[in-house]
Every structure is written in structure tokens, then in C-alpha cells.
């Protein structure tokens, strides 16, 4: 699930292969207007699709000269980012 709270995208639930495509598209709609924060504090489950989604949002924000911060990433997301060698790409 994704909720817009000001300039924050608050995600919750599962960010996995089956849920990410719809969330990715919904998030893109909010990235064109302002600098954004993606809050992952309420996320319960992630897989590599979550990492792909965040990196895609980051590219989209950069293309529009916007910044994107990721806050409260779950430990397993950080572990995946380290495994794939992209941890430094996740803005915090």
C-alpha cells in the first residue's frame, strides 16, 4: 500500500514481485511535483523487486531534477542492497 502524506510516500505491507508493479506506477505519479521522501517504516516484507522499484523511482526523480530520500529501510532491504552492490545508491 502507498499513501501520500505531504511530500512523503508512506509504504506499508509487502514490497514483493507481485505487489511492486502497481506500487511503482503509483509512486511515479508523485515524483514529478516535488522532492520526496519514501518512508518504509511500515513495510513488513521485501524482496529484490522492492530494491528495483526504489532505484527506478530514484532514476525518475533525478530525470526531473528532483531529490528522493529513503527513510526507515528494513534491514533485509539493506542486506539485499549490499549483496547487489547498490547500497550507496539508496539516498537517505
Distance CA 65, CA 45 (A): 30
Full-model pTM? 0.91
29 close to 59: Cβ distance less than 8 angstroms: no
Residue 89 lies in a domain: no
Residue 15 lies in a domain: yes
| Distant-in-sequence, close-in-space partners of 18: CB < 8 Å, separation ≥ 6 | none
Residue 45 lies in a domain: yes
CATH number of the domain within which 30 lies:
3.30.750.24
- Number of structural domains in the chain: 1
Computed over every residue of the chain, the mean pLDDT equals 92
Residue 91 lies in a domain: no
pLDDT digit string, tens, across residues 55-84: 999 999 999 899 999 999 999 999 999 999
Distance CA 62, CA 13 (A): 26
In terms of residue numbers, what domain contains 65? 2-84
Q: Which of 82, 77, 65 has the alpha carbon at shortest distance from 20? A: 77
Specify the DSSP element, H or E, that contains 71.
strand 68-71
pLDDT digit string, tens, across residues 20-59: 999 999 999 888 778 999 999 999 999 999 999 999 999 9
Residue 37 lies in a domain: yes
Amino acid at each position: 500500500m502507498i499513501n501520500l502524506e505531504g511530500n512523503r510516500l508512506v509504504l506499508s505491507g509487502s514490497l514483493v514481485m507481485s505487489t511492486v508493479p502497481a506500487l511503482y506506477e503509483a509512486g511515479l505519479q508523485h515524483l514529478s511535483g516535488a522532492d520526496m521522501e519514501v518512508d518504509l517504516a511500515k513495510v513488513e516484507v521485501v524482496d529484490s523487486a522492492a530494491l528495483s522499484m526504489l532505484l527506478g523511482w530514484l532514476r525518475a526523480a533525478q530525470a526531473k531534477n528532483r531529490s528522493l530520500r529513503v527513510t526507515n529501510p528494513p534491514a533485509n532491504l539493506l542486506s539485499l542492497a549490499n549483496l547487489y552492490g547498490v547500497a550507496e545508491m539508496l539516498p537517505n
